[in-house]
């Protein structure tokens, strides 16, 4: 009897649809500072991707020829990459300070370059 293999691509695609819909419909991201949306999506996606990697087929245990994924402290390289991207996302969401250009952009609703161009025209 064969071993069951998860369709990880399908699961990730379904999660991406849910994540995209929830961000687009449930978050007023245009009023957030630059980098917030990127950090939020990075934090959400990496948690799910990290867990999905535990479902990867272990080719050595299945008796299939091929090299199994190398593990570092019981985690795959993809899981370690998820940790790094999650930390970068957490920085963008919680620790990054907005620059002056970010503040004027979110308050005025226009890009910083537009204000300079308006001053030159007058």
Q: Show pLDDT as tens, one digit a residue, over the chain (122 residues).
A: 456 777 888 999 999 999 999 998 988 877 888 889 999 999 999 999 999 888 876 665 555 555 667 788 888 899 999 999 999 999 999 988 776 665 555 555 555 555 555 555 55
The separation between CA 54 and the C-alpha centre of its own chain, rounded to angstroms, equals 18
Domain ranges for the chain: 8-121
Burial label for 3, CB within 10 Å (0-12, 13-18, 19+), is exposed
């Amino acid at each position: 009897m064969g071993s069951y293999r998860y369709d990880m691509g399908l699961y990730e695609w379904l999660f991406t649809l849910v994540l995209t819909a929830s961000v687009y419909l449930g978050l007023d991201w245009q009023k957030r500072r630059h980098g917030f949306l990127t950090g939020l999506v990075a934090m959400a996606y990496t948690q799910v991707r990290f867990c999905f990697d535990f479902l990867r087929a272990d080719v050595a245990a299945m008796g299939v020829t091929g090299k199994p994924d190398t593990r570092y402290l019981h985690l795959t390289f993809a899981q370690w990459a998820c940790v790094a991207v999650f930390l970068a996302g957490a920085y963008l969401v919680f620790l990054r300070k907005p620059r002056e250009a970010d503040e004027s952009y979110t308050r005025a609703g226009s890009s910083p370059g537009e204000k300079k161009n308006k001053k030159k025209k007058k």
